[in-house]
């Protein structure tokens, strides 16, 4: 690339767009399907497929432990995994504001390629648009996965007696982004990670997994409330059992934040059959990115849609989804 | 919705996001899959699938003959069709700048729902992000289609002697957008349209279709050059045979624009076996949005990758992809 920054001409659909696509995207994402540069990619499917999409607008685009590139692949891969699908194909749509630095774009694209490799997915289709603005970078990713026969993981599946597990510490990504923005040196790194190994291990060991949900915007509280409502059950959660890193606790204390509403980008809630709970916990703890997993509660078939948090000193409070202003542009 | 415009709180992932999703998106896009509100949609697949993505940033978002909502569904549906796939599932990612009017968003979402209905596709997954800015609205759509057994339509397929057809007049969308921006009253309306009927008719009548490509950013010239390069053939095009509406010709004359580089959003190039050419033309002309179709040239196996335009007065010029600044934000 001759230029240092993105200009409107990169979005014209002509030679500058072509140069951008070939020099920045195609070289990093290289695979037989993408290389054909067709209007759509024709790939191997299966009888049931999972389809998802997410846009990523995180600011700043690079942060401790990750960047928007790693984030967008992880987010989409994880959304596919949450239905028990094997993630296979990713599409990416870049919306670049004029002024995006080419060097930043190169780092982000490289990070996408590396994360896709880690997660075992191919980037098979892409698109680039340039808009007026002040150098912001947005990425939309959509994902397609293959759903193995017999797999049926969904929000409404939770049964009386099921056990609720989280795969690690809460709030890391949120605290990392916020400390970047506030220029506080906290040593908190983002947890952005693809959970392929963890979900594969749960399924290949025949754990009776009812529900999986990754804990992103809105945090654990919002996710639990949504799942309780979708299943028509009550979730009892032990506040003390929720894993939170000390550095995140301290950061939250300082700013008056509640880790239960703080976003993560490499954590999931698993609701599993009680009989499989201990085995499931060990499998998650033994999987990549799962070492801090913990059992945090259980499912009861009373008072449909409630989430009750039992506090350390014996109190109880009802958890609702996040109200009002959450931290914007966290992902 | 209590508010008139989008604010950052709609992107927090909490209750305001939930309200936005339910009141604006879910009510228009209603279907069994989307209604489950899962991280990803599990749907019926097939042995081969087509996957595509596009972002839409057109300005203004509403224009004569269409809007960004119709445009994004048409664009994605058409990209799937260009591989001979049956379009099935659409995902949509909204990136909303603060200040987007809720009424505009409602009209756009309604338009997406109507166009999806026309094209026979389901919107199965979505995402919304809110960013700082000045009220601009971006939509990414990804699409998944089913590729029937035996169908193999791609850019590299063109053979010596094949005939090149365009499905209608060039430059309508481009001229419509530009006249909106320049506030010139031209009576040009956008051609944004889903080409489902046309492609279905070609395939069900066993036309030997080698290549299909929709003519969008960069115009016919860019598309032809890309296809000539992908197939390693030379395309001979008759300038006079390229259909252009008189009003678009006049508009182009006024502004010094060349219709061959002007974008469309409901037109395709079809390269077909010479023996099927007349039948193919009639089928396209008899299909929805194909009444102005014309044969414009032929494929020769000489001088790989060239596009030669034969002018009315007997001259010849070589066509390259669009150079320099095309009209930005046309789609």
- What CATH number is associated with residue A15? 3.30.1330.10
Identify whether A254 is part of a domain: yes
List beta partners, residue B269: B166, B213
Contact check, Cβ <8 Å, A91/B9? no
Are A123 and A167 in the same domain? Answer: no
Identify whether B329 is part of a domain: no
List beta partners, residue B310: B238, B316
Of B146, B174, B196, the residue that ends a domain is B146
pLDDT for res B190: 97
Contact check, Cβ <8 Å, B79/A47? no
The whole-number average pLDDT for the span A217-244 is 96
Spell out which residues of chain A touch residue B36, defining contact as CB-CB under 8 Å.
Answer: 154-156
- State the residue for tokens 């150079």: B323
A42, A94, A322 ranked by CB distance to B12: nearest = A322
Which among A3, A10, A11, A14 is the top mutation candidate for probing chain B, defined by the most B β-carbons within 10 Å of its own β-carbon? A14
The whole-number average pLDDT for the span B298-310 is 93
Asked if residue B327 has pLDDT above 90, the reply is no
- At A328, the pLDDT band (50, 70, 90 cuts) reads confident
Contact B110, B28 (CB under 8 A): yes
Count Cβ atoms within 10 A of the Cβ of residue B241 and give its class: 0-12 exposed, 13-18 middle, 19 or more buried: middle
Contact B259, B249 (CB under 8 A): yes
Are A75 and A184 in the same domain? Answer: no
Which among A35, A53, A85, A326 is the top mutation candidate for probing chain B, defined by the most B β-carbons within 10 Å of its own β-carbon? A53
> pLDDT tens, A253-267?
989 999 999 999 999
List beta partners, residue B90: B123, B143
Are B70 and B170 in the same domain? Answer: no
Contact check, Cβ <8 Å, A50/B40? yes
Minimal-distance CA residue of chain A relative to B11:
A328
CA dihedral B117, B119, B124, B129 (to 10 degrees): -90
Asked if residue A270 has pLDDT above 80, the reply is yes
Contact B111, B67 (CB under 8 A): yes
Helix (H) or strand (E) run with residue B264 in it? none
pLDDT for res A4: 92
A93, A147, A328 ranked by CB distance to B53: nearest = A93
The percentage of chain A sitting over the pLDDT mark of 70, rounded to a whole number, equals 100
Give Cα separations from B215 to A145, A240, B226, B299, B319 (angstroms).
Answer: 30, 59, 11, 18, 15
How close is the nearest chain B Cα to the Cα of A84, in Å? 10
Identify whether A325 is part of a domain: no
Report how many Cβ contacts below 8 Å link chain A to chain B: 280
- At A201, the pLDDT band (50, 70, 90 cuts) reads very high
Give Cα separations from A58 to A104, B130, B213 (angstroms).
Answer: 14, 10, 34
pLDDT for res A324: 73
Of the candidates A167, A109, A161, A168, the one whose C-alpha atom is nearest the C-alpha of residue A139 is A109
Tell me the two tokens of residue B189.
């309306």
B51, B131, B216 ranked by CB distance to A57: nearest = B131
Asked if residue B325 has pLDDT above 80, the reply is no
Spell out which residues of chain A touch residue B74, defining contact as CB-CB under 8 Å.
Answer: none
Q: List, in order, residues 6 or more apart from A65 with CB less than 8 Å away.
A: A172, A176, A189, A190, A191, A192
The whole-number average pLDDT for the span A324-331 is 82
Minimal-distance CA residue of chain B relative to A80:
B40
Contact check, Cβ <8 Å, B136/A138? no
pLDDT for res A9: 87
3-state secondary structure chain A: CCCCECCHHHHCCCHHHHHHHHHHHHHHHCCHHHHCCCCCEEEECCCEEEEEEEEECCCCCEECCEEHHHHHHHHHHHHHHCCCCEEEEEEEEEEEECCCEHHHHHHHHHHHHHHHHHHCCEEEEEEEEEECCCCCEEEEEEEEEECCCCCCCCHHHCCCCCEEEECCCCCHHHHHHHHHHCCCCCCCCCCCCCCHHHHHHHHHCCCCEEEEEECCCCHHHHHHHHHHHHHCCEEEEEHHHCCCCHHHHHHHHHHCCCHHHCCCCCCEEEEECHHHHHHHHHHHHCCCCCCCCEEEEEEECCCCCCEEEECCCCCEEECCCCCCCCCCCCC
Identify whether A329 is part of a domain: no
Are B227 and B141 in the same domain? Answer: no
Asked if residue A38 has pLDDT above 80, the reply is yes
pTM equals: 0.95
Are B142 and B290 in the same domain? Answer: no
Quick one: DSSP state of residue B137? E
- At A302, the pLDDT band (50, 70, 90 cuts) reads confident
Tally the domains of chain A.
2
Spell out which residues of chain B touch residue A55, defining contact as CB-CB under 8 Å.
Answer: 93-95, 127-129, 140
Contact check, Cβ <8 Å, B93/A222? no
Q: Give the residue ranges of DSSP H helices in chain B.
A: 15-20, 27-29, 32-35, 68-81, 102-119, 172-182, 196-204, 219-231, 246-255, 277-285
Asked if residue A12 has pLDDT above 90, the reply is no
Quick one: DSSP state of residue B323? P
Pairing of strands B316-318, B122-131: unpaired
Are A182 and A308 in the same domain? Answer: yes
Contact check, Cβ <8 Å, B40/A140? no
Phi, psi values for residue A67, rounded to 5°: -160, 175
The whole-number average pLDDT for the span A55-73 is 97
Are A129 and A198 in the same domain? Answer: no
pLDDT for res B296: 98
pLDDT for res A18: 85
| Alpha carbons A230 and A156: distance in angstroms, whole number | 5
Asked if residue B196 has pLDDT above 80, the reply is yes
Q: B297: domain CATH number?
A: 3.90.650.10
Mean pLDDT of chain A, nearest integer: 95
Of the candidates B112, B119, B118, B120, the one whose C-alpha atom is nearest the C-alpha of residue B141 is B112
Other C-beta atoms closer than 10 Å to the C-beta of A331 total 27
Contact B179, B251 (CB under 8 A): yes
Minimal-distance CA residue of chain B relative to A151:
B42
B41, B131, B146 ranked by CB distance to A329: nearest = B131
Identify whether A326 is part of a domain: no
How close is the nearest chain A Cα to the Cα of B141, in Å? 8
Identify whether B326 is part of a domain: no
Contact check, Cβ <8 Å, A129/B55? yes
- At A294, the pLDDT band (50, 70, 90 cuts) reads very high
| Alpha carbons A62 and A183: distance in angstroms, whole number | 13
Are B248 and B296 in the same domain? Answer: yes
> pLDDT tens, B122-137?
999 999 999 999 999 9
Which among B8, B12, B265 is the top mutation candidate for probing chain A, defined by the most A β-carbons within 10 Å of its own β-carbon? B12
Contact A145, B40 (CB under 8 A): yes
3-state secondary structure of B309: strand
User: Is residue A60 reached through a cis peptide bond, with omega within 30 degrees of 0 on the bond before it?
Assistant: yes
Identify whether B153 is part of a domain: no
Contact check, Cβ <8 Å, A326/B56? no
Contact check, Cβ <8 Å, B218/A127? no
The whole-number average pLDDT for the span B118-125 is 97
3-state secondary structure B168-218: CCCCHHHHHHHHHHHCCCCCCCCCCCCCHHHHHHHHHCCCCEEEEEECCCC
The percentage of chain B sitting over the pLDDT mark of 90, rounded to a whole number, equals 85
Spell out which residues of chain A touch residue B223, defining contact as CB-CB under 8 Å.
Answer: none
Tell me the two tokens of residue A40.
């759509």
Contact check, Cβ <8 Å, B9/A324? yes
Contact check, Cβ <8 Å, A42/B49? yes
Are B166 and B142 in the same domain? Answer: no
| Alpha carbons B239 and B288: distance in angstroms, whole number | 25
Domain around B126: 5-146
Contact check, Cβ <8 Å, B40/A143? yes
Minimal-distance CA residue of chain B relative to A325:
B9
> pLDDT tens, B21-35?
989 999 999 999 998
Minimal-distance CA residue of chain B relative to A152:
B42
Contact check, Cβ <8 Å, B12/A53? no
Spell out which residues of chain A touch residue B325, defining contact as CB-CB under 8 Å.
Answer: 8-9, 12
Select the more confidently predicted residue: B324 or B59.
Answer: B59
Minimal-distance CA residue of chain A relative to B88:
A51
> pLDDT tens, A157-190?
999 999 999 999 999 999 999 999 999 888 899 9
A260-289 core/surface letters (b: 16 or more CB in 10 A; e: else): bbbbbbbbbbbbbbeebbeebbebbbebeb
pLDDT for res A16: 85
| Alpha carbons B227 and A72: distance in angstroms, whole number | 32
Tell how far CA A60 is from the center of its chain: 17
3-state secondary structure B161-182: CCEEEECCCCCHHHHHHHHHHH
Identify whether A127 is part of a domain: yes
A15, A38, A47 ranked by CB distance to B45: nearest = A47
Q: List, in order, residues 6 or more apart from B281 with CB less than 8 Å away.
A: B165, B293, B294, B295
Are A299 and A202 in the same domain? Answer: yes
| Alpha carbons B180 and B99: distance in angstroms, whole number | 21
Contact check, Cβ <8 Å, A50/B57? no
Spell out which residues of chain B touch residue A325, defining contact as CB-CB under 8 Å.
Answer: 8-9, 12
| Alpha carbons B122 and A314: distance in angstroms, whole number | 48
Of A146, A178, A195, the residue that ends a domain is A146
pLDDT for res B81: 98
Are B175 and B34 in the same domain? Answer: no
The whole-number average pLDDT for the span B250-268 is 94
How close is the nearest chain B Cα to the Cα of A286, in Å? 25
A14, A53, A322 ranked by CB distance to B93: nearest = A53
Provide the terminal-to-terminal Cα distance of chain B, rounded to the nearest Å.
28
pLDDT for res B70: 98
List beta partners, residue A127: A93
| Alpha carbons A71 and A94: distance in angstroms, whole number | 14
Q: What is the CA radius of gyration of chain A?
A: 21
Of the candidates B230, B323, B215, the one whose C-alpha atom is nearest the C-alpha of residue B270 is B215
Q: List, in order, residues 6 or more apart from B23 with CB less than 8 Å away.
A: B1
Mean pLDDT of chain B, nearest integer: 95
Are B248 and B297 in the same domain? Answer: yes
Tell me the two tokens of residue A305.
């849609």
Contact check, Cβ <8 Å, A133/B133? yes
Asked if residue A2 has pLDDT above 80, the reply is no
């Amino acid at each position: 690339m001759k230029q240092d920054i993105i200009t409107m001409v990169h979005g014209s659909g002509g030679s500058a767009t072509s140069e951008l696509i070939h020099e920045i995207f195609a070289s990093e994402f290289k695979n037989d399907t993408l290389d054909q540069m067709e209007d759509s990619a024709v790939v191997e499917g299966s009888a049931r497929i999972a389809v998802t999409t997410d846009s990523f607008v995180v600011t700043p685009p690079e942060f401790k432990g990750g960047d928007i590139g790693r984030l967008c692949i992880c987010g989409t891969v994880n959304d596919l995994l949450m239905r028990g699908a094997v993630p296979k194909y990713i599409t990416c749509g870049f919306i670049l504001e004029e002024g995006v630095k080419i060097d930043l774009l190169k780092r982000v694209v490289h990070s996408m390629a590396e994360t896709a490799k880690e997660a075992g997915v191919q980037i098979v289709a892409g698109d680039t648009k340039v808009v007026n603005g002040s150098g912001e970078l947005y990425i939309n990713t959509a994902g397609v996965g293959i759903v193995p026969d017999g797999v049926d993981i969904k929000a409404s599946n939770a049964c009386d007696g099921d056990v609720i597990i989280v795969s690690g510490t809460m709030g890391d990504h949120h605290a990392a982004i916020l400390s970047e923005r506030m220029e506080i040196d906290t040593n908190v790194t983002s947890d952005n990670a693809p959970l392929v190994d963890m979900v594969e291990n749960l399924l290949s060991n025949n754990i009776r997994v009812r529900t999986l949900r990754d804990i992103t915007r809105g945090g654990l509280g919002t996710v639990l409330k949504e799942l309780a409502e979708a299943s028509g059950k009550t979730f009892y959660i032990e506040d003390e059992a929720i894993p939170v890193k000390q550095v995140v606790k301290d950061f939250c204390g300082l700013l008056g934040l509640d880790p239960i509403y703080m976003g993560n980008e490499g954590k999931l809630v698993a609701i599993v059959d009680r009989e499989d709970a201990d085995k499931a916990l060990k499998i998650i703890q033994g999987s990549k990115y799962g070492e801090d997993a913990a059992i945090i509660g259980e499912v009861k078939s009373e008072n449909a849609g409630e989430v009750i948090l039992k506090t350390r000193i014996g109190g109880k409070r009802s958890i609702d989804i996040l109200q009002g202003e959450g931290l914007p542009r966290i992902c």
